[in-house]
């Protein structure tokens, strides 16, 4: 019998506005930062264990976030979140 001992998923997410929205670069960056914060709040509300590995603002106003997050709540994932 096999059983999952631990499991996490690493994702690279890009937060960006549509090109045709007509916002300035600073406004798009602000909107994308807000969207990143909403994403983090959603993970917190769901009690998903996660760690932001990297968060970079791009020249076009988009934000790229690399995150490791808990795959499910059944397995011990503490080894993935060591600093």
In tens, the pLDDT along 6-51 reads 788 899 999 987 766 777 878 888 889 999 999 999 999 998 889 9
Residue 56: pLDDT above 90?
yes
Strand partners of residue 34: none
pLDDT value of residue 72: 73
The pTM of this model reads 0.80
The encoded tokens of residue 67 equal 């995150």
pLDDT of residue 81: 76
Residues 75, 45: Cα–Cα separation, whole Å: 19
pLDDT score for 10:
92
Model confidence at 61, pLDDT cuts 50, 70, 90, reads confident
Phi-psi region of 79 (alpha: psi -120 to 50; beta: other; left: phi over 0): alpha
Q: Is the pLDDT of residue 83 over 60?
A: no
């Amino acid at each position: 019998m096999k059983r999952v001992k631990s499991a996490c998923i690493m994702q690279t997410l890009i937060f960006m506005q549509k090109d045709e929205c007509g916002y300035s670069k600073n406004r798009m960056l602000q909107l994308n930062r807000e969207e990143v914060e909403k994403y983090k709040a959603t993970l917190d509300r769901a009690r998903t264990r996660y760690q932001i590995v990297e968060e970079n603002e791009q020249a076009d106003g988009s934000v790229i976030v690399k995150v490791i997050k808990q795959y499910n709540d059944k397995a011990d994932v503490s080894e993935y979140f060591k600093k």
